[in-house]
Amino acid sequence: MALRGVLRLGEVRIRVLDMEAACRHYGDHMGLLKVMTDADGMTYFKAWDEHDHHCVVLRKADSAGLDYFAFKVYDDKTLTALEGKIKEFGLPVERIAAGVYAKSGRRLQFVLPSGHTMQLYAEKEQIGNTLGTINPGVMPDEGVIRGFRINRIDHLLLGGVNIDENARLFREVFEFDLTERLIDADSKASLALFVSCSTKPHDVAFVLQPNPNKFHHVSFLLESVSDLVHAADMIGKHRIPVEVNTNRHGITRGATIYFFDPSGNRNEVFTGGYVHYPDTPTLTWDTSALGAAAFSQDNTPRESFFTVLT
């Protein structure tokens, strides 16, 4: 698959109530690498196997949640082409100059039909993963892999209104595929939609909520199920609040743990899932199989999973 256009989720900025506690959670416990604190007090992290400067930004605020999320695109020409397509779809686009966001080139910013702020960018400083690019080997320097052994940021789940319009935007403008969907068994209304720009089961997903601009979770990729068990042990050791312990999704087939940061933002560690190709048909689940769709090992939906968002 020649992956061009929109490449991947590259950055999220999360609002936290206590910066010290948040840095301990994302850095010391989860094992993300702190790379910078800026003049405004925002703290930047990356996962070990990411080359770009950062993927998570923490901002101290009075309420938890997500400020914005950003996808990286292939090059500046792609960014220019997408600006016109977003405007044709009917969304106003704000141009943000290079350097306004740390270590980053110019960006486009717009608000999704669901109320979420999204950005696109083509350039971000790369600082590597300690392996280099000539005879790189397979293991980074000692002490780089720590905490939960997170490889990279993986995907987002966002809650809001107008999720069908969100999916239409991602399919028609950004050329994502609709990989899976959850619908109401009676009305057939969309309840959750999963879209991918890669061979992953999803790069972002949207769940229907009565209010716009809600944050369900950000997910981080682990190497294996054994690393998932290791993460579960670390979560227990540090008394991190757990919502769903080691389980597996029916949707995406990924193995998962859900837990909360000290501000109440939901996190996920994730591994596995099937390989998606452009000719893979969309998989549809309905609410008659809600338990299996959400958590296939115990077939038990958790009420909080569908109602607690920041």
Q: For residue 1, what pLDDT is reported?
A: 40
Does residue 133 belong to any structural domain of this protein? no
Q: How many domains does the chain have?
A: 2
The CATH number of whichever domain residue 83 belongs to comes to 3.10.180.10
Whether 91 and 51 map to the same domain: the answer is: yes
Distance in angstroms (rounded) separating the CA atoms of residues 285 and 183? 6
Whether 32 and 171 map to the same domain: the answer is: no
Q: Where among 67, 102, 121 does a domain terminate?
A: 121
Distance in angstroms (rounded) separating the CA atoms of residues 50 and 48? 6
Whether 13 and 116 map to the same domain: the answer is: yes
Q: For residue 142, what pLDDT is reported?
A: 87
List, for residues 68-121, the tens digit of each pLDDT value: 999 999 999 999 999 999 999 999 999 999 999 999 999 999 999 999 999 999
List, for residues 14-55, the tens digit of each pLDDT value: 999 999 999 999 999 999 999 999 999 999 999 999 999 999
Q: For residue 2, what pLDDT is reported?
A: 56
User: What residues are labeled active site?
Assistant: 155, 202, 217, 249, 258, 268
> DSSP states of 234-286 as a string?
HHHHTT--EEEEEEE-SSS-EEEEEEE-TTS-EEEEEEE-PPP-TTSPPEEEE
Enclosing domain of residue 59 = 6-121
Q: Which long-range contacts (CB under 8 A, 24 or more apart) does 223-226 make?
A: 223/149, 223/151, 223/271, 224/271, 225/255, 225/271, 225/272
Does residue 136 belong to any structural domain of this protein? no
Whether 177 and 299 map to the same domain: the answer is: yes
Does residue 138 belong to any structural domain of this protein? no
Does residue 155 belong to any structural domain of this protein? yes
When pLDDT is averaged across residues 58-70 and rounded to a whole number, the result is 98
Largest CA distance in the chain: 57
Work out whether strand 242-248 and strand 214-222 pair parallel, antiparallel, or are unpaired.
unpaired
**DSSP single-letter state for residue 205:** E
Tokens of 7: 């490449």
Which pTM value belongs to this model? 0.96
Whether 282 and 158 map to the same domain: the answer is: yes
Does residue 135 belong to any structural domain of this protein? no
Average pLDDT, the chain: 96
Q: Where among 104, 121, 138 does a domain terminate?
A: 121
Does residue 139 belong to any structural domain of this protein? no
Token pair 């000719």 in the structure block, residue: 279
